[in-house]
Amino acid sequence: MQRILVLNPKGGSGKTTIATNLASYFAISGDRPVLQDNDPQASSSRWLKKRSPDQPPIHGIAGFDRNSRMTRAWQMRIPPEAAHVIVDTPAAVPAQDMPDMTKTADVIIVPVLPSDIDIHACSKCIADLLLIAKVRRDEYRIGVVANRVKRNTVIYQSLMRFLETLRIPVIATLRDSQNYVRGAELGVGVHEMKRHLVEQDLTDWQPMLAWLKAKEASVHPLQGAAALPVTA
C-alpha cells in the first residue's frame, strides 16, 4: 500500500484538486483507493458524495470528523484491499505537527501556485519538511507540483526558477484548466472525462503518475516486478 500525503499549509494551492484526481485515477485503474479528508472544509468529502454508484469506488475517510459513536481507530481504518491512500491535508498546518503527519507517508506532494505569496509559502513548507519533519533529501519522498500555471508568463518563469533552487523534483506542471472546475462540480477526475476534452491535462499528469509508480516500485519491489511483462 502506498500512502500519498498532499501537503501545503498555504490555502488554495490545489491540494484537493490533486488528491481527488489521484483517487479518481487509481479508482479507474481498479486499485480501490482510499481518500482521507483531513481538512475541516471537507472539500474532498463533498466531491466524493457527488459520485454516482456506477462510478469506480473510492473509500472515503472523514479524518476531520470526530465521531463519538465509534473509536478513532475504527473511524480511520484502511480497508485491507486498498492499494493507495491519498491524504488531503488542511491549510495552516503548524510546523510542529509535520513530523507526526509525514512519518507514515511514502511520498509527500507539495502543490504550489505561480504567485509571489505562494512561492514564499512553498519555500517555508519545504524548509519545515526538511528541518522540522526531518524528511531527508536523499529519501526523495518530496515532489513539487506547479499548479494552475499559464506557460510563457513571467510569473510562471519565476516559479520554475525558484523550484530549481529547491533541489526537490518538480513531478508535474498542471495547466490552469476548466476541466478541474467541472470535475469538482461533478465528482469526477480528468481521467474519467472524455479523452478528447482532456488530452492536454492527461499529458500533464503523466510525469507525476510515473514518479509515484517508480516510488512504489522502490518501496515494494515485488509489486513493481509483478507489473513488468514477462519475456522469454
Residues with Cβ within 8 Å of 194's Cβ and at least 6 positions away in sequence, in order, are none
Burial of residue 156, with CB atoms counted within 10 A of its CB: 0-12 exposed, 13-18 middle, 19 or more buried: middle
Give CA torsion, residues 150, 156, 157, 163, to 10 deg. Answer: -130
Calpha distance 125→110 (Å, rounded): 8
CA–CA distance from 192 to each of 1, 21, 53 (Å)?
23, 9, 14
User: Which residues in 9-45 are b (16+ Cβ under 10 Å) and which e?
Assistant: bbebbbbbbbbbbbbbbbbeeebbbbbbbbbeebbbb
Longest CA pairwise span in the chain (Å): 57
| pLDDT at residue 220, as a whole number | 59
Domain 2-223 has CATH 3.40.50.300: yes
Q: pLDDT tens track of the chain, all 232 residues?
A: 999 999 999 999 999 999 999 999 999 999 999 999 999 999 999 999 999 999 999 999 998 887 767 777 767 789 899 999 999 999 999 999 999 999 999 999 999 999 999 999 999 999 999 999 999 999 999 999 999 999 889 999 999 999 999 999 999 999 999 999 999 999 999 999 999 999 999 999 999 999 999 999 987 554 444 444 333 3
| pLDDT at residue 231, as a whole number | 34
The cell for 46 is 463533498
Helix (H) or strand (E) holding 193: none
Identify whether the C-beta of residue 127 lies closer than 8 Å to the C-beta of residue 162: no
| Domain-wise residue ranges, the chain | 2-223
| pLDDT at residue 221, as a whole number | 54
| pLDDT at residue 179, as a whole number | 98
pTM of the complete model:
0.90
